Amino acid sequence: MALNLDDYYLPASLQEATELLQRYGAGAMVVAGGTFVHGLEVRGLLTETVALVDISRLGLRGIGASSKGGVSIQALTTLAEVAAAPLIGKNPALAAINDALHYPPRQILNAATVGGCVAAAAPLYDLPAAFLALDGQVQTSLAGRQRSIPLDEFFVGLFESALQRGEIITAIDIPAPAARTASAFLKLETNANDLSLLNVAVRLTLDKAGNCADCRIILGGGVGETYVRATGAEAALRGQAAGEAGFAAAAAAVVDDFEAVEDHRASAAYRRHIAQVYVRRTLATALARLG
Amino acid sequence: MKTIELQINGSTHEVSIEADETLLQVLRNRLDLTGTKKGCDSGGCGCCSVQVDGKVVYSCMMYAAGAAGKAITTIEGLGGGGTALDPLQQAFIDAGAVQCGYCTCGMIMNASELLATTKNPGEDQIRHAIAGNLCRCTGYTKIVDAIKLAAARTGG
């Protein structure tokens, strides 16, 4: 990749990584799996980058149960390791995560990391949409200080996140899901090599009567500069019976929740149509997982 | 320039590189390991696939400096590294899975991870596994046949 780099660093500790990032300032970029560097370069966004700080030797790898019944995925865990994790695979509440990991090729699953996927702040990426639907929290470290950022406050714009200079993602935490919760993710792409036209991730929680007690509906792909939380669609479904009529109401409402992108892949009108179809299908997939 | 050590096919290579050189560039241009092919150079076609610590990755998306100290396997390292063929290589020949041949090495490096982790994979598993490797000649049918053949020959 044709960058004009002074050096490529492999720090052995978070402290060393922070020092490098502070020393180079805007000239440094963190890499982990490295699979998005090319994407940034071809968009002309790395012309000032003179140092890559490869944090892949810092540990920060693995998936564990968090203290309150949720799941904590350390930042350098690869997508392949998430896809193979029993803690996630057997839980219908977290199924959107595995759905999202169905799409990337093996080579990307093996290299790309969870932290990198989130840090990229690209709404075209699949996995963060699933994390958003599951109310994920980003754990970070900056010069020894830790903080927790809710994912719905993390994505600021296209390739822009709430991370401060030198701040490194250490984990993504998923809180314990409520009882009777399932999730799902669905992607529309024209072919496996292209960017998605539209992604939908949902989380559905039922009450004892089978009504929707709570839900999240997240849109990604060609929906603008950041992911969109479809609050209108959520409101249309909340309190309704979880089934065809309620899902149709959510689908009808979703068109007012986002501004569809118009590009060479698809018209805005097509994306609005597909959003309705995919909201309905994704909700039905989640419901089916509740048996 | 900086000097790094790469572990490739069981041997240590000391090599001087520029900081922005990819593993693909170093393999082909500095070490003459030209079995690994350059295709799209952007993580889309799979013909640059190699294994790093047993996992198939796109070598065009990995910086050589970042691969230091990891166990890299290229097509030249299969079959014990000599002239003997790996069962996958032999199966690709026997099944007629090679046409222009440009995707073949990447296909085999990918299938090699699949067969190391999955005994007797079904057709759907094979097709899903090689989704990150494009072939513009065969229509994939004979490639899938070859991977099935290699799986059967190596004991399912």
Interchain pair B46, A107: CB under 8 A: yes
Does any domain span residue A2? no
Give the per-residue pLDDT at A1. Answer: 54
Alpha helices in chain A (DSSP H): 14-24, 37-42, 79-83, 86-89, 95-100, 106-111, 114-119, 127-133, 151-154, 231-237, 244-254, 268-288
Enumerate residues 6+ apart whose C-beta is below 8 A from B119. B151, B155, B156
Residues of A in Cβ contact (< 8 Å) with B126: none
- In chain B, the residue whose alpha carbon lies closest to the alpha carbon of A84 is B117
Interchain pair A106, B132: CB under 8 A: yes
Same domain, A189 and A164: no
Same domain, A73 and A44: no
Confidence of residue B83 (pLDDT cuts 50, 70, 90): confident
Residues of A in Cβ contact (< 8 Å) with B49: 107
Pairs from A47-52 (Cβ < 8 Å, separation ≥ 24): A49/A3, A49/A4, A49/A5, A50/A4, A50/A5, A50/A6, A50/A24, A51/A5, A51/A6, A51/A7, A51/A8, A51/A9, A51/A20, A51/A24, A51/A27, A52/A3, A52/A5, A52/A8, A52/A9, A52/A28, A52/B19, A52/B63
In this complex, the residue of B41, B42, B66 whose CB is nearest that of residue A8 is B66
Residues of A in Cβ contact (< 8 Å) with B135: none
Give the per-residue pLDDT at B105. Answer: 98
Confidence of residue A191 (pLDDT cuts 50, 70, 90): confident
- Distance in angstroms (rounded) separating the CA atoms of residues B123 and B137: 19
Give the per-residue pLDDT at B156. Answer: 54
| CATH fit for domain B2-79, picks 3.40.50.2300, 3.40.50.300, 3.10.20.30, 3.30.1300.10 | 3.10.20.30
pTM: 0.95
Residues A231-250 have a mean pLDDT of 97
Residues B64-93 have a mean pLDDT of 93
Does any domain span residue A29? yes
Q: Check pLDDT > 60 for residue B44.
A: yes
Average pLDDT in chain B: 95
Q: Which of A118, A153, A174 is where one domain is finished?
A: A174
Tell me the pLDDT tens digit for each residue of B57-76: 999 999 999 999 999 999 99
Does any domain span residue A1? no
Does any domain span residue A126? yes
Each domain of chain B, given as residue ranges in start order, spans: 2-79, 80-153
User: What three-state secondary structure class fits A251?
Assistant: helix
Same domain, A207 and A152: no
> Hey, of A42, A77, A79, A107, which one would you mutate to test binding to chain B, going by the most B CBs within 10 A of its CB?
A107
- Find the CATH number of the domain harbouring A69: 3.30.465.10
Q: Which residue range forms the structural domain that includes residue A189?
A: 181-288
Q: Which of A75-89, A94-108, B78-92, B129-143 has the lowest mean pLDDT?
A: B78-92
Q: Which residues pair with A147 in a beta bridge?
A: A140
Question: Which letter does DSSP use for residue A176 in this model?
Answer: P
Confidence of residue B80 (pLDDT cuts 50, 70, 90): confident
Tell me the pLDDT tens digit for each residue of A76-134: 999 999 999 998 988 999 999 999 999 999 999 999 999 999 999 999 999 999 999 99
- Find the CATH number of the domain harbouring A22: 3.30.43.10
Residues B113-138 have a mean pLDDT of 95
**CA atoms in the 13 A half-sphere facing the CB of A62:** 6
pLDDT over 90 percentage in chain B: 94
Q: Which of A157, A174, A191 is where one domain is finished?
A: A174
- Distance in angstroms (rounded) separating the CA atoms of residues A97 and A184: 8
Tell me the pLDDT tens digit for each residue of A247-260: 999 999 999 999 99
Same domain, A158 and A242: no
Distance from CA of B85 to the nearest CA of A (A): 24
Structure-model confidence comparison of residues A191 and A144, the more confident one:
A144
Residues B108-121 have a mean pLDDT of 96
Same domain, A97 and A156: yes
In this complex, the residue of A8, A104, A105 whose CB is nearest that of residue B63 is A8
User: What three-state secondary structure class fits B57?
Assistant: strand
Enumerate residues 6+ apart whose C-beta is below 8 A from A79. A101, A104, A108, A109, A110, A112, A113, A114, A117, A127
Distance of CA A70 to the CA centre of its chain: 17
- Residue pair A93/A177 in contact by the 8 Å Cβ criterion: yes
In this complex, the residue of B56, B57, B66 whose CB is nearest that of residue A10 is B66
Burial track B78-102 (b if 16+ CB lie within 10 A, e otherwise)? beeeeeeebbbbbbbeebebbeeeb
H or E segment and range at residue B90: helix B87-94
Does any domain span residue A135? yes
Confidence of residue A195 (pLDDT cuts 50, 70, 90): confident
Residues B20-25 have a mean pLDDT of 96
Interchain pair A105, B55: CB under 8 A: no
Confidence of residue A3 (pLDDT cuts 50, 70, 90): confident
Interchain pair B55, A110: CB under 8 A: yes
Tell me the pLDDT tens digit for each residue of A135-183: 999 999 998 899 999 999 999 999 999 999 999 999 999 999 999 999 9
Superfamily (CATH H level) for B80-153 = [2Fe-2S]-binding domain (1.10.150.120)
Give the per-residue pLDDT at A144. Answer: 87
Whose tokens are 């991870």? That residue is B113
Same domain, A185 and A253: yes
Residues of B in Cβ contact (< 8 Å) with A35: 43, 58, 61
Q: Which of A127, A153, A174 is where one domain is finished?
A: A174
In this complex, the residue of A2, A4, A111 whose CB is nearest that of residue B61 is A111
Tell me the pLDDT tens digit for each residue of A40-90: 999 999 999 999 999 999 999 999 998 788 999 999 999 999 999 998 988
Residues A195-220 have a mean pLDDT of 96
Distance from CA of A54 to the nearest CA of B (A): 7
- In chain A, the residue whose alpha carbon lies closest to the alpha carbon of B111 is A106
Interchain pair A1, B19: CB under 8 A: no
Give the per-residue pLDDT at A146. Answer: 96
Same domain, A164 and A191: no
Interchain pair B19, A6: CB under 8 A: yes
Same domain, A163 and A254: no
Considering its fold, how many domains does chain A have in total? 3
